[in-house]
Amino acid sequence: MADLEDRILLTVGPDAAFTHLSDVSNLPGHFAALRDARLVAADRVEVTAEVGGETVAGEAWLHVDPDRRRMTWGAPGPHDYRGELTVTGAGPGCEVVVRLHTEQAGGAGVQEGLRESLRLIGEQLGAA
């Protein structure tokens, strides 16, 4: 089991950052393994990822709360994978905090993936 949290400071304002981060079509740019993400219902996303050299398709739930600049998600399955992203103002920019939970053994790999995602977000939106 792993409960993980990491954060990044960005140079863009919180509203612009959240608008970009909560747009499902931008998700593949934030996750190295993700190849495609499509909103298929108000709270359902179909994804395609490259995992261990294989292409894997799946479905996840996604809730976006623009008023709180908060996004939560999860995927059905034995690992109880779920996460939360929040964006808050921080000086002239913003702070993005991501929390993940998984029952999957090997939390170190999940932590590395989280750090890589935040690095990609920083590249796209301007790390402070």
Residue type, 125: L
Q: Which domains does the chain have, with CATH numbers?
A: 2-125 (3.30.530.20)
Q: Is the pTM of this model over 0.85?
A: yes
The per-residue pLDDT string of the chain (128 residues; one tens digit each, 9 = 90 and over) reads 788 999 999 999 999 999 999 999 999 999 888 899 999 998 999 999 887 788 989 999 999 999 999 999 998 877 788 999 999 999 999 999 999 988 876 666 778 889 999 999 999 999 98
Give the span between the Cα atoms of 110 and 124, in whole angstroms.
Answer: 21
